[in-house]
Amino acid sequence: MTSINRTVLERRIVFLVLAIAVALPLVFPLGLKTQVTPLTEKAYDLVESTPAGSVVLLSFDYDPSTVTELQPMAQAVIEHAWKKGHRIIATAMWPQGSQMADMAFADVQGKFDNSKVYGLDYVNLGYKVGGMVTMQAMGRSMEAVYPKDMSGLDYKDIPMLTGIKSLQNVKYVFSFSAGDPGLTHWIMVAKDKYDIPVAGGTTAVSAPGFLPFVNDQMQLHGLLGGLKAAAEYEFLLGYEGAASLNMNPQSVAHVLILILIAIGNVKAWRKRKSVQQEASKNA
């Protein structure tokens, strides 16, 4: 067998083993627990410390490709906000974000026996093109940017929006963000321009880029990075949701990848050693 064929075969074995390592814990959960990190705690505390009756803004800046990571976060934050008596405005800077919001609201409604009333407890204003320009315009007038909600209701006819003239009237912004436009722009506009507390949930890939914003200037009030942070938020709320269950295969896969990295390094070291030995023999 040539070395190229062996490499291809080895790669296929790695894919197969990884698929099995992820599938088995999905079918047979291991019951692994997750530790809560300060980043998640900060985001939780922001929602927890906001008084009941406050109007808050959740921005759904993602689409179905990142639903595994961001949807559990969105559901957990909606549940927390509703438990605290907050009224939620949902917006979307990504075209399919508004559908993601609808799905999240529908799922969490089940936990509240469908008692949350559209227009009183939550509203979905839908998608707007423009990213940061739209956010800045929301700082001047929410109604000008969103004259109607997703269902076609006029802004002024939605009871919970009475008194919400601009972005400054919401108590915090929580962006679930898979890229641009998203959390970066909310920090720039909502926090740094209008001084509204901003927290965020991002995919794990983009989480390291947002860590510097969790600083003493409070540019971000906590950060949920990837599936693990979603599981931590569920833990803080006291239930095991989709994220907690999916952390079982995640943890197994991580252990497997560490083993594979170790094997790869040993193989590379042995190969280098044999090349060196051959070179010294020839010399």
Chain residues binding other proteins by CB under 8 A are 12, 15, 18-19, 22-23, 26-27, 65, 67-69, 95, 127, 129, 132-133, 136, 184, 187-189, 191-193, 203-205, 207-208, 212, 215-217, 219, 225-228, 246, 249-250, 253-254, 257
Shortest Cβ distance from residue 117 to other proteins (Å)?
Answer: 26
Query: Would you say 3 or 115 has its CB closer to other proteins?
Result: 3
Query: Would you say 4 or 52 has its CB closer to other proteins?
Result: 4
Query: Would you say 73 or 81 has its CB closer to other proteins?
Result: 73
How far is 268 from 258, CA to CA, in rounded Å? 15
Backbone φ and ψ for 174, nearest 5 degrees, come out as -125, 110
Q: Which has the closest alpha carbon to 157: 129, 118, 127?
A: 118
Dihedral angle computed from the Cα positions of residues 239, 242, 245 and 250, in that order, rounded to the nearest 10 degrees: -130
| 102 neighbors 229 (Cβ within 8 angstroms) | no
Shortest Cβ distance from residue 253 to other proteins (Å)?
Answer: 5
Phi-psi region of 180 (alpha: psi -120 to 50; beta: other; left: phi over 0): beta
Query: Would you say 216 or 280 has its CB closer to other proteins?
Result: 216
Query: Would you say 116 or 240 has its CB closer to other proteins?
Result: 240
Shortest Cβ distance from residue 83 to other proteins (Å)?
Answer: 26
Shortest Cβ distance from residue 150 to other proteins (Å)?
Answer: 10
For residue 201, the SS3 value is strand
| 60 neighbors 74 (Cβ within 8 angstroms) | yes
